[in-house]
Amino acid sequence: MPAFSDYNPIVVFIYFLTVAGLAMFIMNPVILGISLFGALICFRSRTRGKKDRSSGLFIGLFLLLALLNPLFHHNGATVLFLINDNPITLEALLYGFTSATMVVSVIYWFRSFSLLMTGDRLLYVFGKVSPKFSLMLSMSLRYIPLFATQARKIKASRKALGLWKEDNLWDAVKGGIRGFICLAGWSLENGIITVDSMEARGYGSGKRSFYSRYSFSLWDLGMLILILALTSVVIVSKAMGALDFGFYPRIGGELMTGAAAGAYACYTVLVLLPLGQIIREAGYGREKERKNGNH
């Protein structure tokens, strides 16, 4: 069985489209909890051994989104306490945590998507449908890490020259603005160079050829059928109302009906499909260490 990242880009693209799409359009606490759990596992499987400095940022975002809703929306029949004569309701609090779970899980799905779907994979998926769109998308994704790298270079250079001060907030803001101006100038210049290079290579002067090193195997077909089958069960359960859950004016809806349990099981299998990659690579790592130890 191939690793998840080795599947055809179309299969990987459809996978992320389904898991993130279901999370965005089904406001069910169990479904969203499963989505967040699977998104974290998928992301950590791609960043093992690397320190994720953004974890604290997303924890803060989760708490901010969860707590802002009850502070600004006072719907709901179960009042917990009052703040300046404004009721904080249980329904608004639960809705805030549910929506925060949805936002953070979708963000992590797209972070994993950006790690797996490289520029050449996006060109493969969209190349035959819309070559210009695929080229624009792949170039845009390529510039994101380039901007981050260039921003660090500019900051280091200005610090070495003594032009970047962080003694107080005002100096830090001024340094950030000047660094951004340098980065904007670099991006414009780099864009012009890219355009000149593409024109010199004859881009757009003739019929565009299409090269792909990817093939569609039986493993890809089987994984695609599995993804679509699991997604169909969840969609049918949603259409039947088995996954409906209300927050206002009172919390209502049965979370653990028979149809809902089947949908939860299918969605759990769906979000944990990349787990096969973790097990496979972990087993390969142990086998390699064992062979090195024998030598």
> What pLDDT does 267 receive?
95
- Report the alpha-carbon distance of residue 170 to residue 40 in Å, rounded: 37
More confident residue, 272 or 2: 272
- Report the alpha-carbon distance of residue 255 to residue 46 in Å, rounded: 32
**Average pLDDT in the chain:** 81
Convert the pLDDT of each residue in 195-240 to its tens digit: 788 778 776 666 666 556 778 889 889 999 999 999 999 999 999 8
Nearest C-alpha neighbor of 18 from the set 214, 223, 199: 223
> What pLDDT does 134 receive?
65
Strand partners, 260: none
pTM recorded for the entire structure? 0.73
Does the pLDDT at position 146 exceed 70? yes
Does the pLDDT at position 2 exceed 90? no
- Report the alpha-carbon distance of residue 295 to residue 280 in Å, rounded: 23
Does the pLDDT at position 60 exceed 80? yes
